[in-house]
Structure 1
Amino acid sequence: MSFKIAIIGAGSVGFTKKLFTDILCVPEFKDIEFALTDVSEHNLQMIKAILDRIVQANRLPTPVTATTDRRKALEGARYVISCVRVGGLEAYADDIRIPLKYGIDQCVGDTICAGGILYGQRNIPVILDFCKDIREVAETNVKFLNYANPMAMNTWAAIEYGKVDTVGLCHGVQHGAEQIAEVLGAKSTQELDYVCSGINHQTWFIDLRLNGRPIGKDELVAAFEAHPVYSRQEKLRIDVLKRFGVYSTESNGHLSEYLPWYRKRPDEITRWIDMSDWIHGETGGYLRYSTETRNWFETEYPQFLEAASKPIDREKRSNEHASHILEALETNRVYRGHFNVKNNGVITNLPHDAIIESPGFVDRFGINMAAGITLPEACAATCIASINVQRMSVHAAISGDIDLLKLAVLHDPLVGAVSTPEEVWQMVDEMVVAQAAWLPQYAHAVPAARERLSTSKVKTREWAGAARRSIRSIEELRAEKAALKQAG
């Protein structure tokens, strides 16, 4: 087979390498072309060197090109994969820092909540630029695979306004299934059958079967509470399982910031999180992790390059959806996964225009969703609260309406549990001013926002959050890795 895959944001080096090796695990794909593009020439050259080393080590004919000219990369592409982070870590730091001044403590801040909404405002204009180029220079029936957060908002904008055939892809369902299989004593996830449905990062295991035997709420609660690690790390998630009756795909830290109940007061935050790893609820945890990972990669790059000389092990192909979708579309080997698409009635008790995450099957005819799913009422209510925020956020990003943006943030569940309307109005002004370089649609609103900030009497505070950790140095990371290796 011969076709072209373009990867936008290919400077996300580790993730691009994973996607690349996954796709090359499909024997028929050895002759396809990869076109890498990014705004960072430095990152592009690093990832190209790694992928070239993989091609050479495995004696493959696979061509790999790299360019900062996005349109050139997209020319003739049959598939386009996006894993961009608009504004990089600089803008992301403001997504965490500024809301903390108003009492809003986020673990990740990339989906909804104050940080996730502003992240969407930065991404959506760029997503629409991608879509324009895709429509104009890619193959006619191109498929856009979006891995970038905020997943639902980006996918919503690409489908509704970008007019490109788009599917959003995440790995939360797979990770949740791995946990469930482990606590139930299964040898692997192959023994576990499940239907998981909802919206991205708020997806619910509404039907679980272990070797064909239905697993109910009580058995699952008991299994998690008996687990020596998850009983500590997933306290909030287990509490939601007890109350809602179904398990959420999302990590303890992520789930905590989508709900109005667990991060509204500092003492509540420390009660429900676990500090053994960032993903379990640490304040700004993902920002710290991302910063450390970038620093580590820059310093240890020669080791990453050397590791690329190893042969591809097809047995270690990851459970990321992209390679499996491409294989199904091109070879007709049917693949079942969980995909982010427009609802259009697939989930009966969520809005038709929402971007849902739900089971589907892929073959030569495309992605075919399993329709007629009804969520438990509590799950639907929680999802709808987020969908309403996402809808307003997308519309604000498209129109540049700062008042609608403020209303979207006001209606966010966690923001509404913590902040007053006056605080929200000022916080959004502050975030828009701080991130003006990445928010062209709000350029007209920045002068007035800056003027309001100069005369505002809304009080703020300098607060690191309820559970903040400092960024570790390269030396500290090396010592920790050495200790883990010795212990293992």
Structure 2
Amino acid sequence: MTKGIKIATIGGGSSYTPELVEGFIKRYDELPISELWLVDIEEGKEKLQIVGNLAKRMIEKAGLPIDVHLTLDRREALKDADFVTTQFRVGLLDARAKDERIPLKYGVLGQETNGPGGLFKGLRTIPVILEICKDIEELCPDAWLINFTNPAGMVTEAVLRYSTIEKVVGLCNVPIGMEMGIAKLFDVDHSRVRIDFAGLNHMVYGLDIYIDGISVKDKVMELITDPENSSFVKNIDGQGWEPEFIQSLNLLTCPYHMYYYKTKDMMEKAMKNAADEGTRAEVVRKLENELFELYKDPDLAVKPPQLEERGGAYYSDAAVRLITSIYTDKRDIQPVNTRNNGAIASIPNESAVEVSCVITKDGPKPITMGDLPVQVRGLVQQIKSFERISAEAAVTGDYNKAVLALTINPLTPSDSIAKEIVDEMLEAHKEYLPKFFEKTLV
């Protein structure tokens, strides 16, 4: 192929962008990008300039012929793109802070992708991603949409159900973080580790774990009862599992399972953190301010190590590995969010799942995992119901569906509390939820 690759990154002013650029530089031999378009909105203009200039310095230092374009014009960036990556946050960190703080008043966990926070992030994000999909259909119909925007599972579900785009893959750094955690536990290179992943985004389990193709699951189950080994992702506090529980569950959990299996503990921790140091959004805002000060340094031409504190470790490894494998038809195995197509027997075929896939030029081919083990099947199905009804509420602006979705979520104790939270959060996010307010004016 002689033509260089054009990539458009929506949310290009994100603090994560240097991580992505580093990945593109490392894999340039396999993925010869000629144009990288970083897109943002007016409110993100200053950050886009800072991050964009750092990206240019990084590429210049690497001596690569990649043209970096910074723009607020999404359509210009999308024209004839080969890959579109999305990593945006509707309402910025202010909205995330509300998602986290408001539920705490009702004794419910406030978290970016789980419970009320996950619902409202989805309600704000899905209408925007569907508008982007319309632009892709018109301007780059052959492009692959690679979505990192949370809640990634719900967003992928919405794109599969409510747009005509088939070439969509949702991606998260949690599974690769779990792989890296196993590699560290056994002191081996990441390339030797493989996990059979099955479930949903932030609700994924490792059904089996291999090193050099040999199962080490029994040993892992023994090791992860040690509190030191219970969490593989920086932005969730690891708390030790009860040995009896984790041994009997007999599956590798992801860090987000803490919210469902240790709800009371995580709730107490969230309340304490919110009082002492602020919610996660407020901590991230401080981290981001520090990162952007670093990014401004005209002598900085590499990704600063402080970025890992942001919770984005291995983000570019996952992202660029996926794009490269599609482009080169590599047929390696990676965990992604894609249409189920029968891979997990207890989830509808047309729904989005997070599952190990063979990555080809035609996209991810899910590996058949059969039925989910009975001990986790019900919880995964409950979260899938939550995602589907949340996506429907986002598309229709149906207030009743929003209350139903939140009531279904296992982190919500009752329908009356769900209604109170929805009422307050709708008002708090009114600016970003026009569909819900159009209805009331009729």
Q: For this structure pair, what is the TM-score category when the shorter chain's length is used for normalisation?
A: 0.7 to 0.9
**Conservation of the 8 A alpha-carbon contact between 1:22 and 1:317:** no
Match of 1:167 in 2: 169
Deviates more, 1:324-333 or 1:378-387: 324-333
Distance of aligned partners of 1:425 and 1:37 in 2 relative to their CA distance in 1, 3 Å threshold:
same
C-alpha distance 11-238 of structure 1, shift in aligned 2 (>3 A): farther
How big is the shift at 1:29?
A: 3.7
Gaps of 5+ in 1: 311-315, 449-488
Matched, 1:104 2:108: yes
User: Measured at CA, do residues 394 and 36 of structure 1 come closer, stay the same or move farther in structure 2, by a change above 3 Å?
Assistant: same
Provide the rounded CA distance (Å) in 2 between the counterparts of 1:240 and 1:8.
42
Shift, 1:59, TM fit: 2.2
For residue 238 of structure 1, report the CA deviation from its aligned partner.
Answer: 6.1
Relative to structure 1, the CA distance from residue 320 to residue 75 in structure 2 (aligned partners, 3 Å threshold; closer, same or farther) is: same
Structure 2's unaligned 5+ residue stretches are 232-236, 304-312
Partners of 1:240 and 1:23 in 2: CA distance: 41
Moved more, 282-291 or 321-330: 282-291
- 2:336 maps to 339
For the residues of structure 1 that align with 2:97 and 2:279, how far apart are their CA atoms?
11
Structure 1 residues 284, 127: CA separation in 2 closer, same or farther (over 3 Å shift)? farther
Other-structure match for 2:155: 154
Q: Is the 8 A contact 2:228 2:240 kept in 1?
A: no
Residue number in structure 1 paired with 2:431: 437
Does residue 321 in structure 1 map to residue 318 in structure 2? yes
SS in structure 1 at match of 2:54? helix
Give the number of the structure whose alpha-carbon radius of gyration is greater. Answer: 1
Question: Which residue, 119, 122, 125 being the options, matches 2:124?
Answer: 122
Question: Does the CA contact (< 8 Å) of 1:433 and 1:446 recur in 2?
Answer: no
Deviation at 1:85, TM superposition (A): 0.7
Residues 16-63 of structure 1: CA deviation (Å, up to 9, x unaligned)? 121122123221544521111011211111111011112221222211
C-alpha change, 1:439 and 1:333, in structure 2 (3 Å) is: same
Q: Does 1:60 align with 2:64?
A: yes
Instruction: Determine the structure 2 residue equivalent to 1:131.
Output: 133
Shift of the 318–307 alpha-carbon distance from structure 1 to 2, 3 Å rule, reads farther
Preserved CA contact (<8 Å) 2:176 2:318: no
Deviations 1:119-138 (A, max 9, x none): 10000110111011111111
Structure 2 vs 1, CA of residues 426 and 378 (structure 1 numbering), >3 Å: closer, same or farther? Answer: same
Residues 350 and 380 in structure 1, CA contact (< 8 A), matched pair in contact too = no
Q: Supply the distance in 2 between the matched residues of 1:23 and 1:302 (Cα, whole angstroms).
A: 21
- Cα distance between partner residues in 2 of 1:118 and 1:242: 35
Residue of structure 2 equivalent to 1:425: 419
C-alpha contact (below 8 Å) 1:123/1:154 kept by paired residues:
yes
Rounded Cα–Cα distance in structure 1 between residues aligned with 2:168 and 2:93: 26
Q: 1:284 deviation in Å?
A: 6.7
Instruction: Kindly state the Cα deviation for residue 99 of structure 1 after the two structures are TM-superposed.
Output: 0.7
Provide the rounded CA distance (Å) in 2 between the counterparts of 1:384 and 1:186: 35
**Which aligned pairs between 1:198-277 and structure 2 lie closer than 5 A?**
198-217=199-218, 219-226=219-226, 228=228, 230=230, 233-236=238-241, 241-248=246-253, 250-251=254-255, 254-257=256-259, 259=260, 261-264=261-264, 269-270=267-268
CA shift, 1:301, in A, is: 3.1
2:177–2:314 CA contact under 8 A, matched in 1: no
Q: CA deviation at 1:388?
A: 0.6
Match of 1:182 among 181, 184, 187: 184
| Cα RMSD for the two superposed structures | 2.9
Matched length: 421
- For residues 38-49 of structure 1, what are the structure 2 equivalents within 5 Å? 38-39=40-41, 40-49=44-53
Q: Does 1:399 align with 2:412?
A: no
- Contact 2:84–2:145 (CA under 8 A) maintained in structure 1: yes
CA distance in 2, matches of 1:52, 1:124: 31
The structural deviation recorded for 1:330 is 2.6
Partner Cα separation in structure 1 for residue 439 and residue 244 of structure 2? 42
Aligned residue identity for 1:215: V
- What is the CA distance between 1:335 and its match in structure 2? 2.7
Q: How big is each residue's C-alpha offset from its partner over 1:408-430, in whole Å with a ceiling of 9 and x where there is no partner?
A: 101110113xxx32222122111
The aligned counterpart of 2:300 is 307
Cα distance in 2 for partners of 1:320, 1:446 equals 45
Question: TM-score normalised to the size of structure 2?
Answer: 0.87
What's the offset of the Cα at 1:263?
2.1
Q: Which moved more, 1:391-400 or 1:200-209?
A: 200-209
For 1:73-114, what per-residue CA distance to the aligned partner results, in whole angstroms no more than 9, with x for missing partners? 1111111000011111111111111111111133xx222301
Whole-Å Cα distance in 2 between the matches of residues 321 and 255 of structure 1? 21
Give deviations 1:377-396, integer Å, cap 9, x for gaps.
12221110100111110001
